[in-house]
Structure 1
Amino acid sequence: MKNNGSIAATNDQYYIKRHQTRSLQSLIYPDLLKDRKTDLIKMKTFLLALGFALICASSAFDPAKITGEWRTILKGADDVEKISEYADMRIRLRHLECIDDCEKLAITFYVKPNGECQKVSGVATKGPHNVYEAEYAGQNFFRIEYFFNDIIIFYTIHVDGNGKVTHMTNVSGKYK
């Protein structure tokens, strides 16, 4: 009988001493433990995404809570140039107001297309599938993806005058 640390091998059978914490599977398949860690990370990511999806699916919002002062926290786009510092779509949200039970949404924001701050106001109209449509620097189709407490997330599809499509996400917080 050979003694290999805490594992004793006899006739191709492995015995683990009582103080040994590793499982028999990890001794036979040493890469299994690494795969389990990877699987655990994947599972945590999946559960986080599932939880976020369930929250989003169940987030029916109160129009009265949307009306108020807002500030842009984070903006992302698949074409970063569209939201760069002096670009037209680098909006800084300031005010939202629900009109007719949020069938229309009045929006006020600031932009700095030429380095000079400009206030922009407009009204977006709700269409099918709760998608709002508004005109600013082209056509904009957006939807409130998430609204809870003082956080709102918009998903926007912007089509500029040349027909170029940009997908954007805007995270804003209510200003108190």
Structure 2
Amino acid sequence: MKAVFLTLLLGLICAVQEAPAQPESSEITGNWYTIYMAADNKEKIEEGGPLRTYFRRFECIDNCEKLSITFFVTNYDSCTLPTVVAERAEGNVYHVDFMGKNSVQLIRVSESMLVFCAENFDGKKTTNVTYALGKGSSLSQEDIQKYEEINNERGIPNENTEDGTQTDHCPK
């Protein structure tokens, strides 16, 4: 009986610790817009910060072995539109060089929300950053709550969240 209980307990622990499943190509490919952004080092996402990013489009390449990411970076009033291609590593983690070395993961929260999570190493310091991405310009209260939970799991305080809809002046 103890063996059955321990097996069940171990199974539950493993299930809780599983990484989120990789979203399907059809769930990723398309236009996505930055609704919120947050970082454990808030200066990286503040006005003029190197990780102040306004996403526009994701496209899966080769069954999502590569991920094309189009976004705006801003430097006060100017908008620059780069496209980078991230390479899949293990599971649903991608690697891409932009403003340092990045490990990124996409988490599908709902039909209308993705969370883009990244660890950015700029050569000196690692910054954890997340972006709540939507198909439109707002999210449901449920989606916002899930975003806050994801930030808490990554050690990002809720007060480090910026509302991207209020500061995105780049072309749609």
TM-score category by the smaller chain? 0.5 to 0.7
Secondary structure of 2:75's aligned partner: coil
Shift of the 136–85 alpha-carbon distance from structure 1 to 2, 3 Å rule, reads same
Normalised to the residue count of structure 2, the TM-score between the two structures is 0.64
| Partner of residue 143 from structure 1, selected from 99, 102, 105 | 105
- Is it true that 1:166 corresponds to 2:123 in the alignment? no
Could you tell me how far 1:114 is from its partner in structure 2? 5.0
5+ residue gaps, structure 1:
1-52
Shift of the 172–57 alpha-carbon distance from structure 1 to 2, 3 Å rule, reads same
Structure 2 residue aligned with 1:155: 117
Could you tell me how far 1:147 is from its partner in structure 2? 4.0
5+ residue gaps, structure 2:
1-14, 138-172
Query: Which residue identity lines up with residue 129 of structure 2 in the other structure?
Result: M
Q: Which moved more, 1:87-96 or 1:107-116?
A: 107-116
Over 4 Å off, 4+ runs: 56-60
Q: 1:125-140, aligned counterparts within 5 Å?
A: 125-140=87-102
Shift of the 111–60 alpha-carbon distance from structure 1 to 2, 3 Å rule, reads closer
- The answer to whether the 8 A contact 2:22-2:106 is kept is no
Whole-angstrom distance in 1 between the partners of 2:42 and 2:124? 17
Alpha-carbon RMSD: 2.2
Query: Which residue identity lines up with residue 144 of structure 1 in the other structure?
Result: L
Whole-angstrom distance in 1 between the partners of 2:120 and 2:20? 26
Structure with bigger gyration radius = 1
Higher relative contact order (CA 8 A, sep 6+): 2
1:7-65 Cα deviation digits (max 9, x unpaired)? xxxxxxxxxxxxxxxxxxxxxxxxxxxxxxxxxxxxxxxxxxxxxx97x9665522122
Q: Which moved more, 1:126-135 or 1:142-151?
A: 142-151
Normalised to the residue count of structure 1, the TM-score between the two structures is 0.63
Structure 1 residue aligned with 2:65: 103
The size of the alignment, in residue pairs, is 122
